Amino acid sequence: MTDQLFDALIELADDNLVLGHRLSEWCGHAPMLEEDLALANLALDLVGTARALYSLAAEVEGKGRTEDDLAYLRVEREYRNLLLVERPNGDFGHTILRQFYFAAFMEPFWSAAAAGSSDARIRAIAAKAAKEMAYHLRHSGEWVVRLGDGTDESHRRMVAAVDALHHYTDELFVASPAAEAMAGAGVLPRREAMRAEWDRLVGQVLAEAGLTAPDVPWPQIGGREGLHGEELGHMLAEMQYLQRAYPGATW
Amino acid sequence: MYSQGLIGADGRTEESPEFLEAFQRRIDAEEKIEPKDPMPAGYRRTLVRQIGQHAHSEIVGMLPEGNWITRAPTLKRKAALLAKVQDEGGHGLYLYAAAETLGVSREEMTEELLAGKAKYSSIFNYPTLSWADIGAIGWLVDGAAIMNQIPLCRCSYGPYSRAMIRICKEESFHQRQGYEIMLTLCRGTPEQKAMAQDALNRWWWPSLMMFGPHDKDSAHTEQSMKWKIKRFTNDQLRQKFIDATVPQAEFLGLTIPDPELRWNPDKNDGRGGYDHGPIDWDEFWRVVKGHGRMNRDRLAARRKAHDEGAWVREAALAHARKRKARAMAAE
């Protein structure tokens, strides 16, 4: 049970950190100043949630590891994040669609956890994250509509973004053995249970944006087993550089 | 973060002596000048230039520190740095808004920056080469900026002074955060301490240059002080900064890279202060004129963000127009 709770928390923490890191790559380079501030906010929310989850995982594990040990001293095969969140930023349209797909899952997920988790510590993390995800969902959803229903160019770019990212979305609903065990124990919501709400939210926004979800004959799945794309290793090499170059130093 | 060293202000003005005298009486009575109030053209021009340079400095200043967000060594440092750089973007936003009250648009100011016509604080044309640079920038660059900005909270122009009050609160938090990074490094491994010393060596002199040329070479200080846009001269502020910073470096166990630095008990009207060695003004002007290590890269990064964001801004406008048209058609 403890091992499985640890594993399930790590999966969620990795999702949040990897996506938060990706968003932080935008800082100073966004299409407009307002969006620079907004993307940094989203990144801060995600990094904050990741920290809370890693800390809880470290506590559950009870081996004296810290949030930073978990974030900075695991290699890519040990990272358990969804493939969706590690996708490179691409253009602003890719970034915002990736955010929308993720938030459309996490908002209902955290809301359910806040209301129903048997673990008070998870309820507390979930309650804060659910509020943040409601904002991420609104912000990214509005942009998907604006860009899909903007100019010819923005529409074309959003069609390309949907084409590039949609086949990573099925993985949102896949439960690892740890996630399955935690759902069975009432600690975390069942991932598959978010499907109807995700379909509704995504269907509504894509329709308003004039975009169509493609058929996905072969979804991309594997992050929960540490089977990633090639980009994650580069991201971690950059993120972990100081901890790796100066082992044991305090920062 | 930003300091003075307002570059190329043009305070010339052509109003009647009566108008200028009436304006000066308001200034001398410490009245705040508000956007719709009559003001000399030179006053307006000087402020547009200064607030614009200040806003651009905040925006360009996001780049050197942004360079380390993805490599911050802990999650706590990563979040703090991201929040700091975000604060700077926020400062840029309210400074552009303050400048807009003087009749210049953010788009115009941005065009000037991207065209290489508008100046920004030259300090950002130096590269951030190690994590210690993030500490040194917070400690020294934000520290220098605060020295300049606290008096700006009393600037005669209302919108600028109010923006500065908010900005100063955040900057002093940044400065403490930067110093704390330095302290952690100096109490860490020998490699970390060497990293901190190297950062101090590289950032010390450019930080002193942030206050601008010596008073005897500063053409516009006098008029700006008369109009109470500035409250202290460049050299006064630089001296305050040095006197405050030297003991902080001693506490860290670091050496200020100036062999001529020494305590002079007669300085500051007998209260004592530090004498310092000569500042390399050739370097200052070289970087101001665009020939620092990072000038081209900084502008290129701003232009790239602007160009690559054009389709997004156009789409947002196009969508807003479509919505409006649909709403009208539905009525």
The mean pLDDT of chain A is 98
**Which stretches in chain B have pLDDT values below 50?**
none
Give the pLDDT band of residue A157 (cuts 50, 70, 90).
very high
Beta carbons within 8 Å of A231's beta carbon, 6+ residues apart: A86, A87, A88
Q: What is the pLDDT of residue B217?
A: 87
Q: What is the pLDDT of residue B221?
A: 77
First and final CA of chain B: distance in angstroms?
Answer: 49
Q: What is the pLDDT of residue B123?
A: 97
- What is the spatial distance between Cα A191 and Cα A105, in angstroms, rounded to a whole number? 9
- How far CA A242 is from CA of A68, B180, B191, B286, in Å, comes to 12, 18, 12, 33
Q: What phi, psi does B262 have (nearest 5°)?
A: -150, 155
Find residue B273's DSSP bridge partners. B264
- What is the spatial distance between Cα B319 and Cα B24, in angstroms, rounded to a whole number? 49
> Per the CB < 8 Å rule, is B192 touching A249?
yes
Q: What phi, psi does B68 have (nearest 5°)?
A: -110, 0
Residue B80 with chain A: CB contacts under 8 Å:
none
- What is the spatial distance between Cα A181 and Cα A78, in angstroms, rounded to a whole number? 20
Residue B59 with chain A: CB contacts under 8 Å:
33
**Does the pLDDT of residue A131 top 70, yes or no?**
yes
**Does the pLDDT of residue A47 top 90, yes or no?**
yes
Domain boundaries, chain A: 2-245
- How far CA A181 is from CA of A3, A108, A194, B269, in Å, comes to 10, 20, 17, 75
Chain A nearest-CA residue for B189? A249
First and final CA of chain A: distance in angstroms?
Answer: 34
Q: What is the pLDDT of residue B331?
A: 82
Sign of the CA dihedral running A161, A165, A166, A169 = negative
Q: Is B214 helix (H, G, I), strand (E, B) or coil?
A: coil
Q: What is the pLDDT of residue B129?
A: 98
- Please state, for a pLDDT cut of 70, what percent of chain A lies above it: 100
**Does the pLDDT of residue A26 top 60, yes or no?**
yes
Give the pLDDT band of residue A41 (cuts 50, 70, 90).
very high
Alpha helices per DSSP H over chain B:
17-28, 41-60, 62-66, 75-100, 106-114, 131-136, 142-152, 158-186, 190-209, 221-226, 234-252, 267-270, 281-286, 295-330
Structural tokens at position A115:
């209301």
B234 with B4: CB under 8 angstroms? yes
- What is the spatial distance between Cα B220 and Cα A214, in angstroms, rounded to a whole number? 63
Alpha helices per DSSP H over A117-209:
120-148, 152-165, 177-184, 195-209
Select from B63, B90, B309 the Cβ nearest to the Cβ of A31: B309
Structural tokens at position B160:
């600028």
> Per the CB < 8 Å rule, is B304 touching A34?
no
Q: What is the pLDDT of residue B130?
A: 98
- How far CA B37 is from CA of B41, B43, B44, B164, B268, in Å, comes to 12, 12, 11, 20, 38
Interface confidence, given as ipTM, is: 0.97
A150: distance to nearest CA of chain B, Å?
A: 4
- What is the spatial distance between Cα A155 and Cα A211, in angstroms, rounded to a whole number? 8
Residue A237 with chain B: CB contacts under 8 Å:
none
Mean pLDDT of A60-76: 98
Q: What is the pLDDT of residue A143?
A: 98
**Half-sphere CA count of B36, side-chain side, radius 13 A:** 0
Mean pLDDT of A223-227: 98
Residue B71 with chain A: CB contacts under 8 Å:
238-239, 241-242
Select from A31, A72, A251 the Cβ nearest to the Cβ of B312: A31
Beta carbons within 8 Å of B251's beta carbon, 6+ residues apart: none
- What is the spatial distance between Cα A217 and Cα B170, in angstroms, rounded to a whole number? 51
Select from B85, B93, B311 the Cβ nearest to the Cβ of A27: B85
- What is the spatial distance between Cα B253 and Cα A124, in angstroms, rounded to a whole number? 43
B256: distance to nearest CA of chain A, Å?
A: 23
Chain A nearest-CA residue for B134? A251
Structural tokens at position B8:
């190329």
B158 with B51: CB under 8 angstroms? no
A185: distance to nearest CA of chain B, Å?
A: 30
> Per the CB < 8 Å rule, is A36 touching B131?
no
A122: distance to nearest CA of chain B, Å?
A: 20
Chain B nearest-CA residue for A250? B188
> Per the CB < 8 Å rule, is B308 touching A91?
yes
Give the pLDDT band of residue A250 (cuts 50, 70, 90).
very high
Token match 């100096």: residue? B186
What amino acid occupies position B135?
A: G
Q: What is the pLDDT of residue B7?
A: 60
CB-count burial class (<10 Å; 0-12, 13-18, 19+) for B269: exposed
Q: Which uninterrupted H or E stretch holds A19? A: helix A2-24
A80 with A11: CB under 8 angstroms? yes
Find residue B157's DSSP bridge partners. B33
Among A165, A98, A195, A170, CA closest to A137: A98
A153 with B313: CB under 8 angstroms? no
List the CATH code of the domain at A2-245.
1.20.1260.10
Structural tokens at position B34:
């508000």
B170 with B178: CB under 8 angstroms? no
Token match 């996506």: residue? A19
